[in-house]
Amino acid sequence: MPELPEIEHLRQTLLPVLIRAEVRQVHLARPDIVRDFTNNSQKITPKRLLKGQRIKELSRRGKQLAIIAEDGSVLCVQLGMTGQLIFIPNGKKPQQSNHIHCTWHLTLGNNLMGKRGKLVFRDPRRFGCISVYRSMEDLQETRWSKLGPESPTITTRILKQQLNKTIRPIKAALLDQAIIAGVGNIYADEALFGAKIHPMTPACSIEGKPCTDLARSLRSVLKRAIAAGGSSISDYVDGNGQAGSFSTKHKVYQRAGKPCVSCKKPLSQTTIAQRSTVYCENCQQLIA
């Protein structure tokens, strides 16, 4: 599932073409991928999917992307496991034309004034969704208020406050979006390795230097992953249809049995919070 680096890089690659773009038409092939969390019984129509609106802003919180129109209405996109949000310039065809569930036909603005293209939401397994909101305030109150602090800017103090809330293993705590927003299986493994913390360590027992090291490792790993375009493990591509390259730099994720990059001993694997977890028994300390 795409995590914060993938969604942030997606946002950055879509910004040049979506800001000030006008949505001329919307074609919704699968209405079941659209959700309404605003207690609004109105039918999902092209107008509610921003038809006739100009796009004002793209915002991100954790693993979610918000497309904000000039009238204040918002679409919140979650890619799920296999979702893709790709801009297709006019005259070009998508690399994969199946499983496209929603298409926005655009007239571009800013430096691309008058040019046309389309934004497509593609999701083979349909775990992703598009949610409609009347405003950013609705989105904040309904969903984003439930998310923990942003992981790319997490401080030692805030991280310690969040970890004090649970006795679960630190790997499970990092996966909990209410504890810290944006981290999933890939970057939890990578950040814990960088901080030399065993994934079974109780979250509430991490303090002092280990907590500082973990906060620093989270910020570092996420920053480097964003710069590399994220990790493309299976379906993830950015707004231009390009895969990310950070998967070539993973030190532990999906490397069970291979030599540790630090001590050369074979990496171990276990399951925590129903997720495969790879770590180094020798380098990562279990804190009681």
Query: Looking at the annotation, which residues are catalytic?
Result: 2-3, 63, 275
| β 55-61/268-272 pair status | unpaired
Per-position b or e across 184-208, b if 16+ CB within 10 A of its CB: bbbbbbbbbbbbbbbbbbbbeebee
Helix axes 156-163, 208-227, angle to 10 degrees: 110
Give the total residue count for the chain.
288
d(CA 176, CA 161): 14
Q: Answer yes or no: are the C-beta atoms of 150 and 182 closer than 8 Å.
A: yes
Question: d(Cα 68, Cα 88) in Å, to the nearest integer?
Answer: 20
Task: Give the distance, in angstroms, between the CA of residue 179 and the centroid of all CA atoms in the same chain.
Answer: 16
Six token digits for residue 206: 């991490």
d(Cα 50, Cα 96) in Å, to the nearest integer? 24
Token pair, residue 143, equals 């969903």
Render 40-66 in DSSP notation, one character per residue: --S---GGGGTTTPBEEEEEEETTEEE
Give the residues across from 16 on adjacent strands.
none
CA-wise closest residue to 58 among 18, 95, 1, 105: 18
Best CA proximity match to 50, nearest among 115, 1, 121: 121
The DSSP element (H or E) to which 7 belongs, if any, is: helix 4-18
